[in-house]
Chain A
Amino acid sequence: MTTARIVITPPRRLNVPRWREVWEAREIFYSFGVRDIVLRYRQTAIGVAWVVLQPLVTAAIFAIVFGRVAGLPTGGVPYFLFAFAGTAAWTVFSGVLTRAAPSLVANQALVSKVFFPRVVVPLSVVMSVLLDFVVSLALFAVLLAVNGVNPGWAVLALPLWTLCALALGSGIGLAASAIMVKYRDVQYVLPWLVQVLMYATPVAYSLDAVPAGLSWWFEANPLTWLMECFRWSMLGTAAPPAWQVAGLLGASAVAVVGGLLVFQRREREFADLI
């Protein structure tokens, strides 16, 4: 038997994930991701069409409410495109967050009976969220062409912003999923919180529409920076100030590290509590 010996000891105060094990669990990550994607549209009548339909309808509603009814400015971009870009980007963040949070409790049979690095469970939702985003992007590209809008070279930075959205969503999602093992309140509070956040963040309206007296409040929100960066890359609007870009990168790193720490700190009790 030449396999490396595995040592089991009580977890330390700072419970750093064993990266080698996490890497070895990539199959599980992949299997979970595939499972989520396959399951979501199995036994549905129009299947994958939902991926396309949802952002279209949401963007249309936003365009009507904020563009027509409220008559908010967008800086020259058609409101439908503006709202579509906003919701697509927002969905990456909120999708990861809202699916990661209940994942541990939903998989409690596994968590209490099989061993594998637990981080894989909340992180695996990233795959299905990314797939949705890619489909939305393809649709968005068509819409851009139809409307004759060219975002320019800024589009190259899009993967970076996507990574930031994933980092913010999964960081908070990791912490939320770990806390939910003990406190099920999270499942009631979180959807509400995400909705509040969506209206508090310029997703369906632009920062220009915010009254000057309140704008500092909006500009202090890392999600605002995220939306500004996304819109710069997707619509070719004005580039966000450098401090916002730096702040976004910083906030993403803090979210991931913080979320991991909270998660790992509680990981030891999952099987005993769940």
Chain B
Amino acid sequence: MSATTSSPPDTAISSRGLAKSYRIATSGRSHDRLSEALVARVRRPFHRREFETFDALHDLSFDIPWGEAVGIVGRNGAGKSTLLKILTRITAPSGGRVELGGRVGSLLEVGTGFHPELTGRENIYLNGSLLGMGRSEIKRRFDDIVRFSGVEKFLDTPVKRYSSGMYVRLAFSVAAHLETEILAIDEVLAVGDAEFQRKSLDKMRDVAKDGRAVLYVSHQMQTVTTLCTSAMFLDRGRLVHHGTVDDVMAAYRDSFTSFRESQEDVRRRPGSGLIRFARVTTPEVREPVDDTVITFEVGANPEIVGKYFVTCHVRDQRGVIVTQCDSRLVSQWFDPSEPHGGEVRIKDLWLQPGLYTVDMYLCQAGVFDEWQAAATFEVLPHLPYPEVVIEDGIFGAVLCDFDYEAW
């Protein structure tokens, strides 16, 4: 952080000791109303409110050279979006220093500057200026923007009458014609429109090829691997790994493993512990169309009255529960007086390629054992269809078995 560690001048982004902390009031409530704040001040004029600080980012130092497309990965709450918000200067850091080699444009939020009452033309100017384009710059690119968006006919119609597709296309083409030196894309915020995501990714490729710099926040290892030239792995606000995509992905995978390992210790697992899983296993790798088979072993506890049931959650990389398999639904109960082995077989579920974790529960009236990430498996990036036509994968939460017929 001292002046001697100043960064080389030819980097796109240089960060030294970057930190962001939020203050959370611990003594008393936070005052949302002026009257409350005033009353509190009058009552205890010399009382200083106590705060607990929550470190969203902790001592981040890194350099990003020009021409790099950097993927930023990490679990939910790792600080990825906060980092992007600081780099795009939406929020201020609470410590450290960042140097940017140029303007940062973001595809975080397309169309935020759009006003529904204004026409397409007026919105192009408004949004362009918000993104940092000068009036002459917008004028110069105006025709390109309009052509790219394909809304020529409706330029003088208020955008509130646009279809949502037209709206997004116009918004995106304004952002896409912004020539900033650094481009930031947050996948989480860009979800919703498949077409738009595809266009953002294409745009990202072009930008990096031009020798500019791209930051890409993602949960999808697949896209990071195919599009990025290097990657950063954030964990609980710290930069754990910064290097080649392969190394970072390995570290990211390991983090899942280490969490899994911590959960193998029964003392760290939630639940009453009257009865616990001894082992949960599943094949590590599978094809999308394969059955998911999870085998488990449970100990015995003769003191438990009545039978218990088993339930299992399959989560994708974002932590979304893809499916729940509760043994009660198929009227399977287990007798606690003796140890059991068993298996869950999930049939006819075609999973998207990616990493999945399995959470296992032993329950009766309450939870005996809750084993998060009891097993993990990877679905290989092979699409189970006879033809390969789409390069980046297929949209949707899951894949499905479908047919077309022509009449």
Contact = CB atoms under 8 A, between A and B. Distances in A.
Interface of A: 1, 3, 5-11, 24, 27-28, 30-32, 34-35, 38-39, 42-43, 109-110, 112-116, 179, 182-186, 268, 271-272
B126 A10 contact: no
Interface in B58-108: 66, 85-104, 106, 108
Given A8-B89, A30-B129, A38-B122, A113 B112 contact: yes
Contacts of A7: 97-100
B interface, how many residues as a size bin?
Answer: 35 or more
B321 interface: no
Nearest to A2: B102
A110 B93 contact: no
B100 A271 contact: no
A1 B112 contact: no
A35 B109 contact: no
B109 A185 contact: no
Interface stretch (B32-40, B265-273, B296-304, B352-360): B32-40
Nearest to A112: B90
A38 B118 contact: yes
A7 B9 CA distance: 12
26 contacts: A1-B101, A1-B102, A1-B181, A3-B102, A3-B103, A5-B9, A5-B100, A6-B99, A8-B93, A8-B99, A9-B93, A9-B96, A27-B134, A31-B129, A31-B130, A35-B118, A35-B126, A110-B113, A113-B90, A113-B108, A114-B109, A114-B131, A185-B33, A185-B34, A268-B92, A272-B91
B34 to A, nearest CB: 4
A31 B158 CA distance: 16
Nearest to B125: A31
- 3 A-B pairs closest in CB distance: A27-B129, A183-B34, A115-B89
Interface of B: 9, 12, 22, 32-35, 37, 66, 85-104, 106, 108-109, 112-113, 115, 117-118, 122, 125-126, 129-135, 158, 181
User: Which secondary structure characterizes the binding site on chain A?
Assistant: mixed
A8 B85 contact: no
Given A38-B117, A110-B112, A110-B130, 20 more contacts: A1-B102, A5-B9, A6-B99, A8-B98, A8-B99, A8-B100, A10-B93, A10-B95, A27-B133, A27-B135, A28-B129, A35-B122, A35-B126, A38-B118, A38-B122, A109-B112, A114-B106, A115-B90, A185-B35, A271-B85
A34 B95 CA distance: 38
Given A31-B130, A43-B117, A114-B113, A5 B101 contact: yes
A110 B99 CA distance: 24
B181 A5 contact: no
A31 B94 CA distance: 32
A35 B99 contact: no
Contacts of B129: 27-28, 30-31
Contacts of B118: 35, 38-39
Contacts of A185: 33-35
A268 B23 CA distance: 13
